[in-house]
Amino acid sequence: MKMVMKLHIKNFGCQMNKLDSSLVCSALVERGFELVETSEDADVILMNTCSVRQHAEERVLSHLGRLKHEKKSRPELVVGVIGCMAQRMGAELAEHEAVDLVAGPGQIAQIPDLIEEVLASKGTVVAVSEDIRVKGSDVERVGLDEFEMAYDSDANHIPGQAFVRVMRGCNNFCTYCIVPYVRGPEVSRKPADIIKQIRKLADGGVKQITLLGQTIDAYEYAEGGKIYRLGDLLEETSEIEGVEWIRFITSHPGKFDAGILEAMASLKKVTPYLHIPAQSGSDRILKAMNRRYTAEHYLSLIEKARQMVPGISIVSDFIVGFPGETEEDFEATVELVRKARFKNSFVFKYSPRVGTHCEKKLADDVSDEVKKERNIELLAVQNAISEEDNLKYLGATVKVLVEGLSKKPHLNKAENDDNPQLVGRTATDHIVVFNGPERLRASFADVKVIKTSALTLFGEID
């Protein structure tokens, strides 16, 4: 009798990685693998890695260190490193004693075959894109699209929600960022394929679709004499029965155009939510980052968004301690956060990424201590704004899409097992926790807000 192989997959990265992991899992389950929760129970362990921050790579290396020891007692264990770090390091990673398989993001469709190859040969297999900045052939692109179409299903996602990739790669070359070197050039998917995939997901009960792209506002596909842009995709997605909320992440301030705001303003299903990273409030630093916009342009863009889409919530990312960032530059960032009044901001301390312009040309000259202080200060400014702005929800009833059981039940104690604490999000992406029956998962609920904090709204079913 053929033994069932057990698979454990660990995810270290962004939504793109989570999506890739779920596709690979589905493909392997179809081949007879059984998914297990822990690495101890697995015959095959896959780590889907991220290279955007040094910390993420360090975590992978420390896991590999542990697995090296585990392989001494279980030499038959297969360990694969996939994703961005695999593409960045390639054969160098394959030299690690724990590693049997290295596969980049462009090779996800081949992973089931590559695992079989490792199992049969007992050797190490490396599959990464040789020249990542050269657009893959049509055969490769179609292969990736077919893989996406075949293995994406509502079962892959948070119940009731799905993330759908509309493009791969990035052409921006922000000087600190590794993405263009590990995910390759921008390639937009064919609109008809995207819409077909969303229809399939909606037929399976998905109510919220999040369109995914590294620079989603740069989406562009020429077909039949027409150029399709993000606004067109939003419009076509809106027409799909069953889809009720549509989001898109992540936007680049230098690419964003009025057509997207017009689509947001006119299409009821498109939620009033925009994730548009500013990264810095200093024009000098923005230039050194090669972001290709100024703080003034950024602020006028979000002002326009607020005029055209009333109630829109805007979220940003920032890097503090970028090479050469002075106290004055940092103050400009604080000023931008004060003016912009984001719903929330993700703040990261700069760390050089091997192979980027920054790593090669700019000294990492802001001390760790200063980076940490700036990180804490910027978050404190943002939190005060979020706390103040969230007060407007007090006493209001908000519609939420319920995600499921809340992971932090101490925030709002469940009354009993039949009425546990649930978590959901509003159309503006505010997190709401409340007590309610678990059957509400994946459906909409009206919740009255009875308490607020900077990051969470607390409520009760209305």
DSSP secondary structure string for all residues of 374-408: HHHHHHHHHHHHHHHHHGGGTT-EEEEEEEEE-S-
Q: Residue 61: how many CA atoms within 13 Å on its side-chain side?
A: 11
CB of 358 to ligand SF4, least distance (A): 11
Candidate list 177, 201, 422, 427; residue touching ligand SF4; CB under 6 A: 177
Site string for ligand SF4, 155-174 (x = CB under 6 A): ---------------x-xxx
**Short-list 245, 167, 164, 247, CA closest to 207:** 245
Residues binding ligand SF4: number (CB under 6 A): 10
Dihedral angle over CA of 228, 230, 233, 235, nearest 10? -110
Omega within 30 of 0 (cis) for the link into 250: yes
> To the nearest 5 percent, what fractions of the chain are helix, strand and coil?
40, 25, 35
Q: Does 104 participate in binding ligand SF4 (rule CB under 6 A)? A: no
Site string for ligand SF4, 282-321 (x = CB under 6 A): ----------------------------------------
Candidate list 104, 112, 136, 180; residue touching ligand SF4; CB under 6 A: 180
Q: Residue 127: how many CA atoms within 13 Å on its side-chain side?
A: 19
Q: Does 16 participate in binding ligand SF4 (rule CB under 6 A)? A: no
**C-alpha to C-alpha distance for 264 and 249, rounded to whole angstroms:** 13
CB of 59 to ligand SF4, least distance (A): 20
Nearer to ligand SF4, 172 or 386 (CB): 172
Q: Does 87 participate in binding ligand SF4 (rule CB under 6 A)? A: no
**C-alpha to C-alpha distance for 361 and 189, rounded to whole angstroms:** 34
- 323 is written with which tokens? 């090479």
Q: Does 261 participate in binding ligand SF4 (rule CB under 6 A)? A: no
Site string for ligand SF4, 196-235 (x = CB under 6 A): ------------------xx--------------------
Nearer to ligand SF4, 156 or 214 (CB): 214
Chain positions contacting ligand SF4, by CB under 6 A: 170, 172-174, 177, 179-180, 214-215, 252
